[in-house]
Amino acid sequence: MKNILVLCTGNSCRSQMAHGYLNHFLDNRKVKVYSAGIETHGLNPGALAIMKEDGLNIDHHTSNHVDEYADIDFDYIITVCDHANENCPYIPSKNALRLHHNFYDPSKLVGTDDKKHAAFLKAREEIKAYFKEFVAKHNLV
C-alpha cells in the first residue's frame, strides 16, 4: 500500500480539498491518503461547502498536525502552499517523492458571498485538475 501526505499551513482548506479528491480518484485498498498542516486551524466551512457542491462530503475530516504522522513512511509528500513548502519540518520518509504546487488560497478573500464562492470554486477546480492528473501520471489507480 502506498501512503500520500498532502501538507499545507493549517490543514483547513486546500489540503482538505486535495485529500477529498485523492480519496475520490483512488482505490483506497492501494493508497492511503493523509492530510496535515504545520499548524492546525480546523476545517474551513467554505471548503466543506464547495466540496459538497461537487458531490464530495469531507465533513468527517479532521485538521491534523504533521507531527501526528511522524512514524508513517510516505511515498508522496505534496505541499499545496508556499508557506508549508518553505516551513515544513523534516519528515523522515525514506524514498518519498516530494512535490509542490502553490494553490490559490480562497480563505484569504474578503468580499461578498458571491466573490467568496467564486474564490472557493476557483481553488477547488485547480485542486481537482491537479490531483486528477497526479493520479494518472503516477499510475495510482
Domain ranges of the chain: 2-137
Task: Find the catalytic residue in 31, 33, 36, 81.
Answer: 81
**Mean pLDDT, the chain, whole residue set:** 93
Cα 135 to Cα 26: distance, rounded to the nearest angstrom: 7
User: Scanning the structure block, which residue is given the C-alpha cell 494553490?
Assistant: 103
Active site residue 88: yes
Q: What is the pLDDT of residue 60?
A: 96
Cα 109 to Cα 2: distance, rounded to the nearest angstrom: 35
Task: Compare 78 and 30 and report the one with higher pLDDT.
Answer: 78
Active site residue 13: no
Alpha helix positions (H), 8-77: 14-25, 45-53
For the CA atoms of 4, 134, 120, 20, what is the dihedral angle to 10 degrees? -40
The arithmetic mean of pLDDT across residues 107-126, rounded, is 95
Task: Find the catalytic residue in 5, 31, 88, 127.
Answer: 88
What class does CATH assign to 2-137? alpha beta
- pTM as predicted: 0.94
Task: Find the catalytic residue in 8, 13, 43, 51.
Answer: 8
The arithmetic mean of pLDDT across residues 68-97, rounded, is 88
